[in-house]
């Protein structure tokens, strides 16, 4: 069913799932059927500079580290308050 949904989505929208790069991580109850879809399975994924585990260990620490990296990056530009708000809004709209 999941593969069919992804294929239908690709036909309608034109965005295809790269199965070679796709990694599935199950959280909560493990369903053995998902392992038979042909996707790689993992107990953790790396996304947006964070490593997220299936049991959500260190999620808060990963989030804080990512936020701190972003703050350190943008702090060198000495942005005004309105500039910082615009950058923050840009990132919110991206998600």
95: confidence class by pLDDT, cuts 50, 70, 90: low
Which pLDDT tens digit goes with each residue over 57-89? 777 877 778 777 877 888 888 889 898 888 878
User: For the whole model, what pTM was predicted?
Assistant: 0.47
pLDDT for res 12? 92
- Residue 20, classified by CB atoms within 10 Å of its CB into exposed (0-12), middle (13-18) or buried (19+), is exposed
Which pLDDT tens digit goes with each residue over 7-43? 898 899 888 888 778 888 877 676 665 656 667 888 8
Who wins on pLDDT, 95 or 45? 45
Q: Where are the domains of the chain?
A: 1-42, 55-95
The three-state secondary structure class of 36 is helix
């Amino acid at each position: 069913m999941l593969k069919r949904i992804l294929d239908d989505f690709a036909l309608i929208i034109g965005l295809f799932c790269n199965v070679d790069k796709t990694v599935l991580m199950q959280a909560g109850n493990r369903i053995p059927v998902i392992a038979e879809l042909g996707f790689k399975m993992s107990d953790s994924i790396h996304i947006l500079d964070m490593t997220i585990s299936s049991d959500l260990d260190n999620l808060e620490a990963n989030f804080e580290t990512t936020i701190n990296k972003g703050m350190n990056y943008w702090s060198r530009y000495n942005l005004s308050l309105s500039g910082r708000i615009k950058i923050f809004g840009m990132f919110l709209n991206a998600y």
